[in-house]
Amino acid sequence: MTMHGVTHATTWDVNATADAQGFAGTATTAVRFEDFGMSPPHVPVVATVQDSIRLEYDFHLDRASQP
């Protein structure tokens, strides 16, 4: 994955189902800010901010019809 100009290998956990129409599911991963050369944001009204980013991607892929 490339973020903030830095490329770093990531592992995604994927839960998917398939049927006659295609595939659907969710993929998630967690990375640290520092892995991509970033610092956690400083938010004055929040005591702390975790040094991780959780990404979640919901997908639905339809099978192409044959001509």
Closest by CA to 51, choosing from 63, 38, 67, 66, is 38
* 29-49 confidence digits (pLDDT tens): 998 888 888 877 777 776 666
* Dihedral angle, C-alpha 35, 38, 43, 51, nearest 10 °: 10
- List the domain range (segments joined by +) for residue 14: 9-62
Inside any domain, residue 3: no
Q: Provide the number of structural domains found in the chain.
A: 1
pLDDT value at residue 8: 86
Is the Cβ–Cβ distance between 53 and 1 less than 8 Å? Answer: no
Residue 49 parent element (H or E) = none
* 1-23 confidence digits (pLDDT tens): 888 888 988 999 999 999 988 99
Inside any domain, residue 67: no
Inside any domain, residue 47: yes
Residue 66 has pLDDT above 70, yes or no: no
Inside any domain, residue 2: no
